[in-house]
Amino acid sequence: MSKEPGVTLLLRALTAVMKALTDKAAFSRLGAYMESLGDVGYIESISPLDIEKNIAQLYCDIYALSVSEGTKDIVADDTVSALKGQGGAEVIEALKKWVGAAVEQWRSTDNVDEAYIRILWKVWWRWVSNVIIKEVQELSLLGWKLMEGLGRVVCAMFIGGRCSEGKKRVWWW
């Protein structure tokens, strides 16, 4: 693990979220890919190199991965536990520092539109305020929405971070 405690805390909060969101995206994208291939999407081949004919196997493998990692409710409970359980306040504080430092860095460049920053900041503070205010039971009921909200913030952070490095400019219309 990292010697930086903030990194470990961020990983604690984000691991379950990223697993669940990746699983959901992979499942829906692969299903759409199978449909686009028509009948071929459902054919299985003996050869592992014949990837076009093993889409059905990949689909089954993704489903098995989802089950072995835990249902989305279990993964959501893990996220709630990371945020509200023992050490949860430190995890939330690490997330606040990460978002705050990124926004400050973006403002020092001309590559991230101020409107993009304001919208991210608004979404972030709505999300973190709900986490802080709500009890564990209520957050558990909202587990999937909680993970999706954090996932959106993380994606926006990566997009803004990439743009602040001068790769491209982000605008928000």
Output the pLDDT for position 133. Answer: 94
- Is 96:143 a contact under the CB 8 Å cutoff? no
Output the pLDDT for position 35. Answer: 80
Q: What are phi and psi of 160, to 5 degrees?
A: -65, -40
Residue pLDDT, tens place only, 8-67: 888 888 888 888 888 778 878 887 877 887 776 666 666 666 666 677 777 777 776 666
Report how far residue 118's alpha carbon sits from residue 40's, in angstroms, rounded to the nearest whole number: 47
- Is 154:18 a contact under the CB 8 Å cutoff? yes
- Is 140:78 a contact under the CB 8 Å cutoff? no
In degrees, rounded to 5, the angle at the alpha carbon of residue 172 between the alpha carbons of residues 167 and 173 is: 135
User: Percent of the chain beyond pLDDT 90?
Assistant: 14
